[in-house]
Amino acid sequence: MTQFRRRDFLKSSAAAALAGSSTFGALGRAFAADPVNFFAWSAGVDQVKAHVSAFEAKTGIKVSYGNAPWAQYRDTLVTKFVGKAPLDTLWVSDAWLPEWAEAGWLAPIDGYPQLTKYNSDVDDFSTKSMMWKGKQYGLTYYTDYMAFFYDEGMLQKAGIGAPPKTWDEVVQQSLKIKKAGLSEYPLMLSMARETWLIEFLSSLVFSHGGRFVDDAGAAVMQDKKKGAHEALTWIVNAVQKHKIVSPACVEIGELNGLKSFTSGQHAFAMLGRYRVRTLNDPKQSSIAGRVKQAMMPAGPNGKHATVGWNRFYGLTTAAAKDKAKAADTVKLIEWFGGKADGQYAFQKLMFLDVGSGFATKPLFKDPDIIKAYNQYSDIKMYEAQQKLAQKKDVVSPWFGEWDEVNGTAFQAAVIGKASVEDALKRSADTWNKLRRRA
Amino acid sequence: MSIRAGALRGVFGAPVSRYDQASAMWLLAPMLGVLLVVAVFPVLYSFWISLFDLRLTRPHRVPFVWFENYQEIFQDELFWQSVWRTTSFTLICVAAIMVIALAMALLLNEEFRGRRFLSAMLLVPWAIPYVANGLMWKWIYDSGYGALNGLLFQLDFIDKYMVWLGDQHKTLWLIANAFIWKEVPLATILVLVGLKSIPADLYSAARVDGANTWRRFVHITLPALRPSFMLVVIYETMMAIRHFDLFFILTEGGPAEASHVLAWHVYVETFRKLSFGTGSALAYIMALVTFFLAFWLIRTLGRKL
């Protein structure tokens, strides 16, 4: 047996190294360079991976992609930031922006015109949702709003020709449906304590022409003239007086609400706009084909406004500090949140594959999107309602803490444990206390 | 192969005596080290943290506030409400578990057809993880499609579906019911072990003396079961005070704080508000209360044994 000597080993190693460097030279940069660390919640994972691969192939920049479930996302990311884990870009919810920006974890993108140039294509409320203290912190990944849906078949059976335009009409039509024995609780409202609750409450307040806080950031929710009082009174009456909303609404989360509506138990529902795809899918809904979207009913002083939310690509401060890393990261953000190969490829992909909404106005004119959406809903209604969407006015560094109390206060009013005045006073007092402390 | 003590050498080469404390300490040192790192240090460190206004989302400003967190907690109305709810929940659960476990144990202590099968079935709730148990009860209690409403409706006890977890007056009772269902099997086994250990001679002698079933139960069974009762009371009290899973899965403290217990309060402060200073202080208060309660129970009940 021939012995493999130390000298032979060194020679062959050197030869292998030389061969490797020439053979894999093209891949050298991708594997040797520090990757761009991209973290997201576990939505559209296959689509993200495919788009990342296309980016790597196009630019030679390596991307390290990781994800965590939505429910644990905020905690996971805060822990990562505190622990200084490698993070360059990530999906951010508008609700966390002030908190993370104030903590110094996110960097503004105003200095990158290759990103801000897309603002002119994006709905105003969506861009505003990415701003904190006058600076923009990202590029939109997904945008949507709270929508008002109705079961056209049930309305026809009750002899109702058109959906309600005001909250008063919602009551009148619901009572008619109830009287006809078509539904015990015609309006489905999800009021369980979860992250969705503030979206439902905000849309009810905005559609009543109301605000939680004024432009200066002071609480106005307790003011009887500012809409929130009117909105909460309407909810309380709907549950306790008219009995058109189930008293169980305080234990019904968004997902259970969706299931309840798809089972045909209700005539009206407030749900995220993107849910219309499920609502009109015969495999998932017993009322498929009958669900239509209407403009959010208006309160006496309201104008069909609703709440919109935004999820976006944020740039971390750590990445922004390193010029080379920042340049690579900005390219990745643009690839996802802006145009890739001349089109809004990722937003379109996410819309067509999973139904995620977008704030990029040119996509409303995209023939593929129009064709796909009109199969289960009405693109014009989608666009018209989105124009009236408003960003949540309560998003602040103390939003999470306040939201805990506010959700509880609204629930207390709904179940009759507290009066509307007391509930809103508690919410306002908490807001002001947290604001002072900050 | 047997090893003679004299053949062993201590850590410094000296022969090991069976009573050599120093060598024993050296051998135990690695485990003590592990315990120091994973148990003692976190406990002491969390106390240290409780003296700071530490919010994870405000990393640049972490002031040392002495006992301000504790002071704030004691001034917080919600804290006292959660203490009261935790106390109610614990009393309801422990009392119900004791009564049901005793009844079940007495039943299983008798000879009858199917006893073994019933004993095996009894273990099923105990074997189900708490999260699965919570999800199961969520389905049962659901006001729209829950099994409880379905059953009561079919039996004509109700004419329309009821609100269960969404009703502030029922919530705590319903969560207690789910907790009791899960905990009764273990308590039954502990009581049953106590029952099996009572000498049959005592009952024979009592029968000879003319004692009826009730008197035999009161004067023989119950006193003999004291050790088992003590174990069950202490264990279940600790479990009920610290219980979190069902509150998280079934109600998230709602509706409108109707099930906002102490363990939930700790969770909200620590993991929702990410206020680690207050969360640590709350956890310390809870740990101290639990410790002193256990100490008191052991002393009080133990003295009567």
Write the pLDDT tens digit of every residue in B50-63.
999 998 888 888 89
Q: Where are the alpha helices (DSSP H) in chain B?
A: 21-35, 41-49, 68-75, 77-108, 115-127, 130-141, 147-154, 171-196, 200-208, 213-216, 222-224, 226-242, 245-246, 262-267, 276-303
Contacts of A437 by beta carbon, 8 Å cutoff, 6+ apart: A398
- Domain B69-304, CATH 1.10.3720.10 — does that match? yes
Residue A155 is predicted with a pLDDT of: 97
* Residue of chain B whose Cα is closest to the Cα of A102: B58
Whole-model pTM: value is 0.84
Burial B11-26 (b: 16+ CB within 10 A, else e): eeeeebeeebeebeee
How near does any CA of chain B get to the CA of A114, in Å? Answer: 30
- Which 8-state DSSP code applies to residue A245? S
Yes or no, beta carbons of B57 and A260 under 8 Å apart? no
Residue with tokens 């709602």: B254
**Closest partner residue to B255 among A256, A265, A415, by Cβ?**
A415
Side-chain half-sphere of A319: how many Cα atoms within 13 Å? Answer: 30
Average pLDDT of the segment spanning A41-69: 95
- The answer on pLDDT for B281 being more than 70 is yes
Residue A113 φ then ψ, to 5°: -60, -25
- The answer on pLDDT for B47 being more than 60 is yes
- Contacting A with CB below 8 Å, chain B residues are 56-60, 142-144, 160, 163-168, 251-258, 268, 271-275
Q: What is the DSSP string of B18-85?
A: TT-HHHHHHHHHHHHHHHIIIIIHHHHHHHHHTTB--BTT-TT---B-TTHHHHHHHH-HHHHHHHHH
Domain range summary for chain B, segments of one domain joined by +: 8-37, 69-304
Write the pLDDT tens digit of every residue in A296-313.
999 998 889 999 999 999
Q: What is the DSSP string of A366-423?
A: -HHHHHHHHTTS-HHHHHHHHHTEE--TT-STTHHHHHHHHHHHHHHHHTTSS-HHHH
Residue B11 is predicted with a pLDDT of: 53
Rounded Cα gap, residues A317 and A109, in angstroms: 10
Yes or no, beta carbons of A251 and B168 under 8 Å apart? no
Average pLDDT of the segment spanning B221-228: 91
Tokens of B34: 């592990």
**Closest partner residue to A251 among B255, B268, B274, by Cβ?**
B255
Rg (CA), chain B: 26
**Closest partner residue to B143 among A100, A193, A251, by Cβ?**
A251
Q: Which residues of A touch B275 (CB under 8 A)?
A: 401
Q: For residues A312 and A92, is the Cβ–Cβ distance under 8 A?
A: yes
Closest CA to A222 of A4, A421, A16, A12: A421
Bridge partner list, A138 = A314
Write the pLDDT tens digit of every residue in A169-207.
999 999 999 999 999 999 999 999 888 999 999 999 999
Instruction: Collapse the DSSP code of A256 into the 3-class scheme (helix H, G, I; strand E, B; otherwise coil) and give the result.
Output: helix
The domains found in chain A, sorted by start residue, are 36-144+308-389 (3.40.190.10)
Q: Band of the pLDDT at A225, cuts 50, 70, 90?
A: confident
Q: Give percent of chain A above pLDDT 90.
A: 84
As a whole number, the mean pLDDT across chain A is 91
- Which 8-state DSSP code applies to residue B275? B
Rounded Cα gap, residues B146 and B166, in angstroms: 13
Yes or no, beta carbons of B57 and A103 under 8 Å apart? yes
Q: Band of the pLDDT at A95, cuts 50, 70, 90?
A: very high
Residue A24 is predicted with a pLDDT of: 44
Contacts of B170 by beta carbon, 8 Å cutoff, 6+ apart: B164
Closest CA to A317 of A63, A65, A90: A90
CB atoms within 10 A of CB B106: 16
The interface predicted TM-score (ipTM) is 0.80
- The answer on pLDDT for B15 being more than 70 is no
End-to-end CA distance of chain B: 45
Q: Which residues of B touch A82 (CB under 8 A)?
A: 56, 59
Omega prior to A362 cis, within 30 of 0: no
What torsion do the CA atoms of A314, A316, A320, A325 make, to the nearest 10 degrees? -90
- Residue A43 class from Cβ within 10 Å (0-12 exposed, 13-18 middle, 19+ buried)? middle
- Residue A386 class from Cβ within 10 Å (0-12 exposed, 13-18 middle, 19+ buried)? buried
* Residue of chain A whose Cα is closest to the Cα of B258: A412
Q: Which residues of B touch A414 (CB under 8 A)?
A: 255-256
Residue A437 is predicted with a pLDDT of: 84
- Residue A7 class from Cβ within 10 Å (0-12 exposed, 13-18 middle, 19+ buried)? exposed
SS (H, E, C) A47-112: HHHHHHHHHHHHHCCCEEEEEECHHHHHHHHHHHHHCCCCCCEEEEEHHHHHHHHHCCCEECCCCC
Rounded Cα gap, residues A92 and A309, in angstroms: 11
Residue A27 is predicted with a pLDDT of: 46
Q: Band of the pLDDT at A14, cuts 50, 70, 90?
A: very low
Rounded Cα gap, residues B153 and B28, in angstroms: 62
Residue with tokens 């509150």: B247
Side-chain half-sphere of A428: how many Cα atoms within 13 Å? Answer: 20
Residue A200 is predicted with a pLDDT of: 93
Q: For residues A267 and A151, is the Cβ–Cβ distance under 8 A?
A: yes
CA angle A195, A198, A199 (to 5 degrees): 95
Which helix (H) or strand (E) segment holds residue A132: the answer is strand A131-132
Rounded Cα gap, residues A266 and A186, in angstroms: 4
Residue B248 is predicted with a pLDDT of: 94
Q: Band of the pLDDT at B17, cuts 50, 70, 90?
A: low
Residue B277 φ then ψ, to 5°: -65, -55
